[in-house]
Structure 1
Amino acid sequence: MKVFIAGGRGRVGSRLEDNLETKGIEVVSGGLEDGIDVISGKGLSEALVGVDTIVNVLNSPRFDAEGAISFFEGAIDNLTVEGERAGVRHHIVLSIVGVGEGDASEIGYYLGKVAQEKAVRSASIPATATTVTC
């Protein structure tokens, strides 16, 4: 199995990479430090060659609604387009438990996470939104 971690050099991605590699899973780290820009698409098609699963732990650099929504939806769109071309079979997205419920739904960053979940669930690659409690 080969896994691409979008955001693989970050706090969550680097720990996930270590964990998967100890289990014998081949990992491709996908971050700017690796020459891969998920938002612009630079290096993405090459990085996804032979990948079975995308694990998306990217985080938005903007926390306002417009910026967060644009970032998260753009990342899903690019990962889906290039993932389809590469034959990726599954896309996992890290999200937040209860995001979009109650008063939290008015927070710009959370609106971005809700948009991310909707985008990945409606994309052509089967997906899972894995949640964590903040």
Structure 2
Amino acid sequence: MKVVVIGGTGLIGSKVVAKLTEHGHEAVAASPNTGVNTLTGEGLAEALEGAQVVVDVSNSPSWEDEAVMNFFRTCTSNLLDLAPKAGVQHHVALSIVGTDRLPNNGYFRAKLAQEELIKASGVPYSIVHATQFFEFVNGIADSATEGDTVRVAPVKFQPIFSDDVAAAVARTAVGTPVNGLVEIAGPDVFQFDELIRDVLAAQNDPRKVVADPHAQYFGSELEDSSLVPGPGAQLAGTRFSDWFAQQQG
């Protein structure tokens, strides 16, 4: 099976390509680094030729509200316009748990717009909703820092290892289109502020973590269930504690 992975040289994309290749599929990494640009359309038709599946794990180079909306709308429209002509039978996109719950978050709004385009396209599809990656925990703490204080809402948080995300995306890509959502998350549910506090303490980071129900998460206040999946989510096997211990070691 030929699978074109848009964003195939990035964190998730490179792992998806590797996992598909291991299982005998023809996985093509498509990104500006390989001469394929979904924003401009450069090289896209050629890359899609003969593909049964397209996997889109690309990301906007800018997270500014207007730029990120333009990126996901334009790239997704370009892909969906060309997919039927190329014979693509399954469009898989990686998105985020909670895209419909945080309307003040410009990135989430853009991902939701991407999802709506896919749903309306008529191309058989599967949208994989993942929780936040283990690798992003420190960056989240930095974004919530004011001076030497980190303000984090005391809500549920269920992060997932990027390797497990890639495995789920690859598995979805070679399966039957669900024409709906597949939710994936890590095996453990934490309280958001407690996890950030424990991580920083383990790294001897002197910042003080404050549980603040009104703390902003990239522009939005959170409810208890904003960042966790619903019933029936696929739970990955890698525990945060095991991954974190390995990183520290």
TM-score, normalised to structure 2, is 0.52
- Structure 2 distance, partners of 1:4, 1:90, is 11
* Aligned counterpart, 2:130: 132
Residue 128 of structure 1 aligns to a residue whose secondary structure is strand
> Aligned-pair distance for 1:97?
0.7
- Structure 2 distance, partners of 1:59, 1:19, is 20
Name the % identity.
Answer: 36
Residue 105 of structure 1 aligns to a residue whose secondary structure is coil
> Aligned-pair distance for 1:62?
2.0
- Structure 1 distance, partners of 2:64, 2:103, is 12
Instruction: Judge conservation of contact 1:68–1:111 (CA < 8 Å) in 2.
Output: no
Q: Give the structure, 1 or 2, with the largest relative contact order (CA under 8 Å, sep 6 or more).
A: 1
| Aligned positions of 1:56-95 closer than 5 A | 56-95=56-95
- Structure 2 distance, partners of 1:72, 1:123, is 15
Structure 1 runs (4+) deviating above 4 angstroms are none
Instruction: Judge conservation of contact 1:80–1:124 (CA < 8 Å) in 2.
Output: no
> Aligned-pair distance for 1:123?
1.1
- Structure 2 distance, partners of 1:45, 1:110, is 28
* Aligned counterpart, 1:14: 14
Question: Which range moves more in the overlay, 83-92 or 58-67?
Answer: 58-67
Residue 116 of structure 1 aligns to a residue whose secondary structure is helix
* Aligned counterpart, 1:38: 38
Question: Which range moves more in the overlay, 60-69 or 90-99?
Answer: 60-69
> Aligned-pair distance for 1:61?
1.6
- Structure 1 distance, partners of 2:119, 2:65, is 20
Aligned residues: 132
> Aligned-pair distance for 1:100?
2.4
Q: Does 1:96 align with 2:68?
A: no
What stretches of structure 1 of length at least 5 have no aligned partner?
Answer: none
Residue 28 of structure 1 aligns to a residue whose secondary structure is strand
* Aligned counterpart, 2:120: 122
Q: Does 1:112 align with 2:74?
A: no
Instruction: Judge conservation of contact 1:2–1:53 (CA < 8 Å) in 2.
Output: yes
> Aligned-pair distance for 1:68?
1.4
Residue 69 of structure 1 aligns to a residue whose secondary structure is helix
* Aligned counterpart, 1:25: 25
Residue 20 of structure 2 aligns to a residue whose secondary structure is helix
- Cα root mean square deviation, aligned: 0.9
* Aligned counterpart, 2:150: none
> Aligned-pair distance for 1:65?
2.5
- Structure 2 distance, partners of 1:7, 1:24, is 20
Paired letter, 1:80: L
- Structure 1 distance, partners of 2:122, 2:62, is 27
